[in-house]
Amino acid sequence: MIQQISESVEKVLRKHPKVKGYHKIEFWATLDYCVLEAHIFFDGTLNISKIHNYISEIENKIRDELGIDNLDSIFLHSEPIEEQKEGIIF
């Protein structure tokens, strides 16, 4: 299941023109709720306000793509691409 979730999240991220990559997709599930966390790379020169808007868009698209009813929280962390030494780079 985590592989399918990771592939779906990557699909959403690759479609967004400002996303440069990601790492550390994690997913936790209990009987009542699920939580998704990911670190997303952006150009470090982007305005933080714009990045916040992009993160909100991406969260909504991930929710739509996954279609998990009890997906309670999505935590998306933005990081500058320039400092990345690990992860998937687009």
How much is the pTM? 0.92
Q: Which domain range does residue 24 map to?
A: 2-89
Q: Which helix (H) or strand (E) holds 8?
A: helix 2-15
Residue 7 has pLDDT above 90, yes or no: yes
pLDDT tens digits for range 16-38 = 999 999 999 999 999 899 999 99
Residue 63 has pLDDT above 90, yes or no: yes
Domain count, the chain: 1
What value does the mean pLDDT take over residues 2-24?
A: 97
For 90, residues 6+ apart whose C-beta sits below 8 A from its C-beta are 13, 14, 19, 20, 21
Burial class (CB in 10 A: 0-12, 13-18, 19+), 32: exposed
Q: Which two tokens stand for residue 79?
A: 């990081």
CATH code of the domain covering residue 55? 3.30.70.1350
pLDDT bracket for residue 1 (50, 70, 90): confident
